[in-house]
């Protein structure tokens, strides 16, 4: 590809590694594209944030394709991951330490499978306090890290599939297909409540956005190598 190809617009499928922010991935790719083609300025953006503790599909748009970011963001998404039962964290995932433990002796495999049915279809979900949603000009996670509490409104989301793929003691592996705006961390937390226990998200991978699949994605290193041979 040429500099003009990237300016006219490309859709890049990247398999985001653990602990990278989506913003860091965008910055890294932009820097290498500019360097490779000696471009002073080029638009690069992502179509839907992935938390640092999540891996998987990140759609990166360049040039004129950045106009289509909202369209890609609105498509249904598929995730796989692991929910740990019997423990909650303030962030609903591993970003924060376990703050409470709950009994799990009453939870059977049958109950786990049965409980997923409560979450299929259109449901109300409250985003986690540790999220990038803005309130009064500040992101919620900024308030949360200061120890400030704030009221968060529930929002309607759609979960079309919620499948349990494996159960290992208190670790529950799953696959979810859901609408834009779904927080899998909140789903994990709410799932724990529905089981009369507690839970948090201990692993997450985005596998699909619309018709785009992570199996077609490149690692950051492999994308950079592909630039060098162009």
Give 191-203 pLDDT, tens digit per residue.
Answer: 999 999 999 999 9
If you average pLDDT over every residue of the chain, what do you get?
91
Answer yes or no: is pLDDT of 101 > 90.
Answer: yes
Give 68-77 pLDDT, tens digit per residue.
Answer: 999 999 999 9
Residue with the two structure tokens 């006219």: 8
Angle at 196 between CA 191 and CA 199, to 5 degrees: 45
Dmax of the chain from CA atoms? 62
Residues 55-94: b if buried by 16+ CB within 10 A, e if exposed: bbbbbbbbbebbeebeebbebbbbbbbbbbbbbbbbbbbb
Nearest to 190 by CA among 132, 116, 96: 116
Catalytic one among 15, 51, 93, 190?
A: 51
Residues of the chain with CATH 3.30.2350.10: 3-74+211-228, 77-209
Looking at the chain, the whole-number percentage of residues with pLDDT higher than 70 is: 90
Residue with the two structure tokens 């529905």: 194
Residue with more model confidence, 146 or 225: 225
Q: Is residue 51 flagged as an active site residue?
A: yes
Nearest to 80 by CA among 169, 173, 210: 173
In the chain, count of helices (H) and strands (E)? 7, 13
For residues 1 and 203, the answer to whether their CB atoms sit within 8 Å is no
| Predicted pLDDT at 128 | 82
Q: Which CATH number, 3.60.120.10, 3.30.2350.10, 3.40.630.20, 1.10.510.10, labels domain 77-209? A: 3.30.2350.10
CATH 3.40.50.300 given to domain 3-74+211-228: no
Give 44-100 pLDDT, tens digit per residue.
Answer: 999 988 989 999 999 999 999 999 999 999 999 999 999 999 999 988 999 889 999
| Predicted pLDDT at 192 | 97
């Amino acid at each position: 590809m040429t500099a003009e190809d990237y300016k006219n617009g490309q859709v890049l499928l990247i398999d985001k590694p653990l602990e990278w922010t989506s913003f860091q991935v965008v910055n890294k790719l932009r820097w290498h594209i500019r360097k490779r083609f000696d471009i002073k300025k080029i638009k690069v953006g992502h179509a839907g944030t992935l938390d640092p503790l999540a891996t998987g599909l990140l759609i990166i748009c360049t040039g004129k394709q950045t106009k289509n970011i909202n369209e890609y963001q609105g498509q249904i998404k598929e995730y796989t991951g692991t929910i740990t039962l019997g423990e909650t964290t303030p962030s609903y995932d591993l970003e924060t330490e376990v703050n409470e433990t709950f009994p799990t002796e009453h939870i059977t495999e049958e109950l786990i499978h049965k409980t997923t049915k409560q979450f299929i279809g259109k449901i109300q979900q409250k985003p986690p306090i540790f999220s990038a949603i803005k309130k009064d000009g500040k992101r919620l996670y900024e308030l949360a890290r200061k120890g400030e509490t704030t009221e968060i409104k529930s929002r309607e989301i759609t979960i079309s599939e919620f499948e349990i793929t494996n159960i290992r003691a208190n670790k529950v592996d799953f696959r979810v297909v859901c609408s834009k705006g779904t927080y899998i961390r909140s789903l994990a937390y709410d799932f724990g409540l529905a089981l009369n226990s507690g839970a948090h998200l201990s692993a997450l991978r985005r596998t699909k956005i619309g018709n785009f699949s992570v199996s077609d994605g490149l690692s950051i290193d492999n994308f950079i190598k592909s630039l060098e041979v162009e």
